[in-house]
Chain A
Amino acid sequence: MSGKSPSPPMSAALDLQRGRSTVPPTSVANARVWALGSTALKIAGLAIFAFLLFGPLANLVLWSVAERWYTPFKLPVSYGLRYWEVVFRPTGDAMSSLATSVIIACLTVVVALAVSIPAGYALARLKLPWRTALMILFLLPQAFPSVAIYINVARVFYSIGLTGTITGVVLVHAAHGLVYSVWIAAAAFAAVDRDLELAARNIGASPLRAFFTVTLPLAAPGIMASAIFVFLESLDEFTGTFFVGVPQVTTLPLLLYNASMGGNYQIASITALILLVPSVLFMIVIERFLKADVLSKVGQ
């Protein structure tokens, strides 16, 4: 009995195989055409995508090394690194505005974290009655047309002497960055298992001690990611800096704006390329820091 039992399924399998081999050859050719077509489509799609992504970048690079380039010519007339030298000259505007940009970005991160760590923890752990309203409050600066907001901010800042100061610009950038930092920090704290904190309290840690030895280190990757977002946002920010900081505070985006308005595409391109470096670097870092378990809790 047991010796015979395997034979029926085996013969069924053979039937199946035979059945498959009798498929007409035309359909095989058809399938091959389809496969070829879909591969070609994929390649074309990728090429368009790559062009959209890298075309402007290539243009930037080309402009940054073009010493002379005017209308009838499709490519620069002469190449050289003269403008790079202008930008990186120690006395140049570019280096000082890069320094200003970085200082403002760092201060913005400090201010944003000072708000978002306690706020994020509270939003994640405490049962706040207006939780959703609070979350939306941090979203508000992004919800309205920024020019309208910044004109009014500039007026208020002017009356209290904050226009044209680094402090004023930092405050504007921080308000703008808080949405990222608070929402991501809240998600990062929510992703830390409550029991981990309770285990520390249980064997003798005060609430503050438990927070600094357990909760904060475990939420650190998410908070780090939010800090990077805030840093990049600040580095990139134009409108707020324009209304609040000009003319005393010149950041890289403002320099870029001035250069391109003045028709100096080489300087503008080089500034844009400099601005690109931290963005690309940090995006690579963020990808390592922001884990799925944190991302899934953003906005909850």
Chain B
Amino acid sequence: MTVGQASHRHPVVIFSRNNRRVKRIREDIGVDDSVLAAIDVDHLQVSYGSQQVLHGVSLSVAPGEFIAILGSSGCGKTTLLRTIAGFQKASGGAIRLYGQDVVNMPPEKRGMAMMFQSYALWPHMTVLGNVGYGLRLRGVPKDEIRSRVAAVLKMLNLSGLEDRKVTNLSGGQRQRVALGRALAIEPKILLLDEPLSNLDAKVRIQLRSEIKSLQSRLGFTAIHVTHDREEAMTMADRIVVMDAGRIAQVGAPKEVYDRPNSPFVASFMGADNTIGLDVRPSGGGVEVSTDNGSTAFYGGEVPVGSLTAYFRDDVASLDDPNARVDGSIILPGKITQRTYPGGHYRYVVAIGDRHFTVTDDRYHDVDRPVGMRLPLASLHLFPQAQSTGGNHA
């Protein structure tokens, strides 16, 4: 996708307005506003009693698109999905499926299918009963139900389990049956409510790619709610990051990961370390300095003033305290802890009275003075006022 190139053109995150960026993304991936969206959520508001959960969420999903809604618990992502499914009443706004407003339509009329975190398989039915339920409702003859269920089960590698009780299946098999139940009615829209979060890591990754490949084969539109960043990144065409009942950012995975538009999105995408920087224009570029006196000259494009930089562990690296590297700022400090999670070392570096986590491939001794090297191009910079404070190791 062209989004990747776009991020190379602007290596440093420039704080920009959300809607402008969304528009650019849509042009990039070829979403035309004149084509009817599969799902068009328009200023949707939802309240539980007096507590408002969704504050006017707007989101447009193209047919065949895979959208992941990412957010911490309580941000309203599940509420959004359940309102789209019709389980939760909206208090304002509209939901349009292919142009038709469904906001007052009961769930059974909306023609979607959903996968639940709890599997929600009916324990009093067999696999055949579960997967064939939707077909039975639609008056499909018994023989045809059997053959269509067999076809669905074959697609999910569950052949021959038709007459098994669902309570006798493993977690992965159960969620596959749930997927089969959803797909048996050939829905245009599949809603996924954290369906993988109860599964073992290995099964989860396997099912992740299975759902993804089924989606590209069958062409349904999918909305996947998750709190797992990697899951969202690997499955989705576009990621929607939600925060406190509002959409914080919408974009392709790489866009959201490399260029978060707010400190919240930056830290949610793993940039947990923060540091205050002071940027002043100097010559052809800018001079970047920190509180404890480290300075660097940088020729790239950065905002000027008092900034907070957000960065991931793997962006920082360890270097000599006195080294000078172009485009990077080096902060002298001391290693206080070293762990080996596998593949690389993870260090805790004390700089002044603050501690940062840094991953580095090389082995360094604890208590050794080092320089934490931060490539300015990879930092997410936001004006200081926006900082929510030190959220670091």
Q: Are B120 and A199 in contact (CB under 8 A)?
A: yes
A206 and B108 contacting across the interface, CB-CB below 8 Å: yes
Closest beta carbon of chain A to B294's beta carbon, Å: 43
Residues from chain A with Cβ under 8 Å of B133 in the complex:
200, 203, 205, 213
Do residues B112 and A209 form an inter-chain contact, with CB atoms below 8 A? no
State A205–B135 Cα separation when bound (angstroms).
11
Interface residues in B, total, Cβ within 8 A: 26
CB <8 Å contact, A202 and B123? no
A192–chain B nearest beta-carbon distance, Å: 10
Tell whether B87 is near chain A: CB-to-CB under 8 Å: yes
B106 to chain A, nearest CB (A): 7
Chain B residue, CB-CB nearest to A217: B124
Instruction: Known A203-B185, A204-B134; judge A196-B108 contact (CB<8 A).
Output: no
CB-contacts of A186-215 with B (<8 A): 193, 195-196, 198-207, 209, 213-214
Which residues of A sit under 8 angstroms from B106, Cβ to Cβ? 201, 207
Chain A residue at minimum C-beta to C-beta distance from B117: A195
Q: CB-CB < 8 A to B178: which residues of A? A: 199
Please tell me if B363 contacts chain A, counting CB pairs below 8 Å: no
Considering the complex, which residues of chain B in the window 135-193 have a beta carbon less than 8 Å from any beta carbon of chain A?
Answer: 137-138, 178, 181-182, 185, 187
B112 lies within 8 A of A202 (CB): yes
Q: Which of B116, B121, B122, B178 has the most CB of A within 10 A?
A: B122
CB of A223, distance to nearest CB on chain B (Å): 14
**Interface contact B108-A199, CB-CB below 8 Å:** no
Complex contact B137–A201 (CB within 8 A): no
Residues of B within 8 A of A171 (CB): none
Interchain CA distance A214-B120 in the complex, whole Å: 11
B114 in contact (CB, < 8 A): yes
Report whether over half of chain A's contact residues are helix, strand or loop; otherwise say mixed: helix
User: Quick check: B116 and A199 within 8 Å, CB to CB?
Assistant: yes
Name A215's closest neighbour in chain B (CB-CB).
Answer: B122
Size of interface on A: residues with Cβ below 8 Å to B: 18
Contact indicator A201/B107 (Cβ below 8 Å)? yes
Distance in Å: Cβ of A215 to nearest Cβ of chain B: 10
Cβ of B14 to closest chain A Cβ, rounded Å: 43
Considering the chains assembled together, what is the distance between the CA atoms of A209 and B114 in angstroms?
18
Q: Does B384 contact A (CB under 8 A)?
A: no
Question: Which of A200, A202, A218 is B85 in contact with, Cβ under 8 Å?
Answer: A202
Residues of A within 8 A of B122 (CB): 196, 199-200, 214, 218
- Give every chain A residue within 8 A of B113 (Cβ-Cβ): 202-203
Task: Report the Cα distance A25→B114, complex, angstroms.
Answer: 70
Q: Are B120 and A198 in contact (CB under 8 A)?
A: yes
Q: Compute how far the CA of A17 lies from the CA of B124 in the bound complex, rounded to whole angstroms.
A: 55
User: Which residues of chain A are within 8 angstroms of B85 by Cβ–Cβ distance?
Assistant: 198, 202
Complex: chain A residue closest to B107, CB-CB: A201
CA gap between A214 and B108 in the complex, in Å: 15
- B17 to chain A minimum Cβ distance, whole angstroms, is 37
**A203-B182 in contact (CB<8A):** yes
Binary CB contact string for chain B from 92 to 114 against chain A (1 if under 8 A, 0 otherwise): 00000000000000111001111
Rank and list the top 3 A-B pairs by shortest CB-CB distance, nearest first.
A203-B134, A195-B120, A199-B120
A-B contacts, 5 of them at CB < 8 A, read: A198-B107, A203-B113, A203-B185, A204-B137, A207-B106
Task: Name 16 extra pairs, CB < 8 A, besides A196-B121, A198-B85, A218-B124.
Answer: A196-B122, A199-B114, A199-B116, A200-B122, A201-B87, A201-B108, A202-B113, A203-B113, A203-B133, A203-B137, A204-B138, A206-B108, A207-B106, A213-B133, A214-B122, A218-B123
